[in-house]
Structure 1
Amino acid sequence: MKAIILAAGIGSRLSRPFPKSLSVLPYGETILGRQIRIMRELGVKEIFIVVGFKMTLIMEQFPDVFYKYNPDYYITNTSKSLLQAVEQLDDDILWLNGDVVFEKPVLKNFLAVKEHNLVCVDRKSCGEEEVKYSLNKDGFITEISKEVIEAEGEAVGINLIRKADLPAYTEALRRCEDQDYFEKGLEFIIQDGAKVKPVDISDHACIEVDFEEDWISAQKKFLKPDQ
């Protein structure tokens, strides 16, 4: 398994002069540093970070990972950043947004699921800005986007594609428009018959930091590294 962290964006909604993945939690660890540490503690060793905005700040802090550069980070969205990383890979791929703060059991439980493509979800009420999902009668995801009407909850930005479906997903990312999120690629392969299973982590804290109120919540919740 290989892991990809998407950290290329400007993070305009949070208005930081640096990549928001470098925001420092109260106990002194950055969001990105926490993600890398937890993945390595759980046995995920080969990590790629997709960079763009002020990339040297990230690269200087984390010299012992691999990097992919999205040269169009300022005009493209996560579908194209992820495409930069997966095009030459051939393995199961874990990927996550670089602004997700989560308790270690979130990823541990997620990686313990050994079948199907996976999306980490939180079964809660969602607003317009959250990526939402719906399910079929067999419990597999049918829709995943911000526009889902009868949503089951939020897709929190942690995902896994199996090696067998990676070529189809890579092609789906190519089909995406520049401003599409990577979830659009998941919808494409679902329409073509791929199975994508939700993994419910509602019992644990997981916050995607998009807005200042998200960051305030993360600072209140994540006060130590072993949460």
Structure 2
Amino acid sequence: MKAIILAAGEGSRLGKIGEGRPKCLIKIGDNTLLEIQINTLHVCGIDDISIVRGYEGEKIDVPGLKYYDNPDYASTNMSHSLFCAWKEMAGDILILYADILYEEQVIKRLIESRHDIALGVMVNWKEAIRQRTKIALEELEMVYFDSENRIREIGKRRPEEYETQGQFIGIVKCSHRGIEILKRNYDRVKKLYSGKPFGQAGVFEKSWLTDIFQEMTELGVPLHCVIIERGWMEIDTPEDYERALTDTQFVRRVARMKTNWNHRSGFYNRLDWTGRDELLNAIVEMAGVLRSKKVLDIGTGTGKVLMALKKQCPEANYYGVDICQNMLDKVDASYDFNLFIRDMENLHGFQDNDFDLVTARMVFHHSKNLEKTMTEVYRVLKPMGRFILCEGNPPDLCSIPFYKSIFRFKEDRITFLLDDLVNLLVRQGFQKITSRTVILKDMSLNNWLENSGLPFRNVDIIRKMHYECDVFIKNAYNMKFRNADILMDWKFSVVSGIK
């Protein structure tokens, strides 16, 4: 699946908010509309992304994307812009407007559609319109569809002109067959209507995608709806922009950096830190003698912790849980571990007082609810069972803002200091708590960035932040600049407690 984002328009209805820049570059919080879209597409497994530029197009310059230009953006519209990217129009494709925000569930529902041409349609449009008092109703792209979700009418018109059931959200999914159907129909209407009125446009070149779609429905070409009830917002007017800024819960959901574990699993074993003996040895030493005992590793990934423990004590029974099947598929099958898909906040299927040892290395910073996670760990541990928790830390207190700013471009995560980890165990009732600090020396910045599955732009931003950070940050990490790379000392805390 690839994506084409249509970003050629000027966005004049935004007034001064969008003045002098493409609409997709306005900021919602810390990120531009385009950055938020790209992040969501990456999370959904779409890395092949093309942008059609127009107004102030040279300002759209995100590394890792493909660019096509519509030099006639001022005298054309969406349909013309789309076909400026003709070269990309093969295979399965998502076509997206550039002035929308959407949650990943919206994209996933469209991707999963079995229809050759599927349009996202918001059925709660009346509720949305009540919040958009400044929008001209005739500017809305409204949809009427039948009981099988087949579109019967679509286009820009006032909702009362026919029995409106939804609003087109500016996202279309085409299968490899669907995109060929769309191309053939575009070629046909272009030959018939070039320079002439077409659909609701004064001239074909100014037509909207919905004009093409309406023509296709009238000819009997099947177009279908994917019903969307929430998780979408259009930014077309100053009122829309203000609404986006005030709807902080929605913006947090769409704008936070998310981790696509299926994507990252392909790179995970290349990360130097995952196999460094210093960290694994600290966990093994804290675990003690495991003969005939039962061990659970949470967030086991590709099984590095379990393998280190089993080499020390082959007789124990080893279990691992992770949220990503692709990760578990990369665990060496010869070790014969018991592996399960589980969320750390809900270790269902495991009995109370079940394990002698529970380990969690570099996974708690992903927890959505630390209290639930700790409760589950405590529940599955036997009395006198041991819990070992390992997390990375900023090198010192002064480095915390830098540490947090880096991960803002990598993933949504919790930042821990050693005291935070100790307090987690204390609050849960663990006894005999011990800790140690492990420093992994000369860790390669390039190795970390190039194998973290991040968008290219985020990689470039994080790398630049390291090169341009203050001297006290460079000293805290003991940075060494070597052949276009930076070698750094990374700090980890390993904490252990007894139930």
- Same fold, TM-score > 0.5, yes or no: yes
1: CA distance between counterparts of 2:117 and 2:182?
A: 11
- Equivalent position SS for 1:18: coil
Question: Comparing both structures, which one devotes a greater share of its residues to helix?
Answer: 2
Between stretches 79-88 and 95-104, larger displacement belongs to 79-88
1: CA distance between counterparts of 2:149 and 2:116?
A: 12
- Equivalent position SS for 1:43: coil
CA shift in 2, pair 1:87/1:223, >3 Å: closer
Runs of at least 5 residues in structure 2 that lack an aligned partner in the other structure = 130-136, 191-203, 259-499
- Equivalent position SS for 2:31: coil
Distance apart, 1:191 and its partner CA:
2.6
| 1:15-72 C-alpha deviation (Å, 9 max, x unpaired) | 222111011112x11111111111111111111100011111112xx02100111110
CA shift in 2, pair 1:87/1:168, >3 Å: farther
Counterpart of 2:447 in structure 1 is none
Q: Does 1:165 align with 2:183?
A: no
| 1:103-139 C-alpha deviation (Å, 9 max, x unpaired) | 2222122222233311111112253221000113432
1: CA distance between counterparts of 2:148 and 2:115?
A: 15
Distance apart, 1:86 and its partner CA:
3.1
Q: How many residues align?
A: 223
- Equivalent position SS for 1:74: helix
Query: Relative contact order (C-alpha < 8 Å, sep 6+): which is higher?
Result: 1
2: CA distance between counterparts of 1:117 and 1:78?
A: 17
1: CA distance between counterparts of 2:233 and 2:240?
A: 7
CA shift in 2, pair 1:136/1:87, >3 Å: farther
1: CA distance between counterparts of 2:155 and 2:217?
A: 13
- Equivalent position SS for 1:9: coil
Counterpart of 1:31 in structure 2 is 33
State which structure, 1 or 2, has the greater radius of gyration over its C-alpha atoms: 2
Alignment of 1:133-144 (within 5 A): 133-144=143-154
Between stretches 160-169 and 177-186, larger displacement belongs to 160-169
Q: TM-score, normalised by structure 1?
A: 0.91
| 1:117-175 C-alpha deviation (Å, 9 max, x unpaired) | 11111112253221000113432001110126221011110111221132331233342
Contact preservation (8 Å) 1:117, 1:195: yes
1: CA distance between counterparts of 2:178 and 2:102?
A: 26
Counterpart of 1:51 in structure 2 is 53
- Equivalent position SS for 2:224: strand
1: CA distance between counterparts of 2:119 and 2:45?
A: 19
Q: % of aligned pairs identical?
A: 30
Counterpart of 2:227 in structure 1 is 200
Counterpart of 1:130 in structure 2 is 140
Distance apart, 1:215 and its partner CA:
1.0
Q: TM-score, normalised by structure 2?
A: 0.43
Alignment of 1:107-186 (within 5 A): 107-123=107-123, 124-125=125-126, 127-147=137-157, 149-174=162-187, 175=189, 177-186=204-213
2: CA distance between counterparts of 1:107 and 1:136?
A: 23
Runs of at least 5 residues in structure 1 that lack an aligned partner in the other structure = none
1: CA distance between counterparts of 2:28 and 2:90?
A: 34
- Equivalent position SS for 2:163: coil
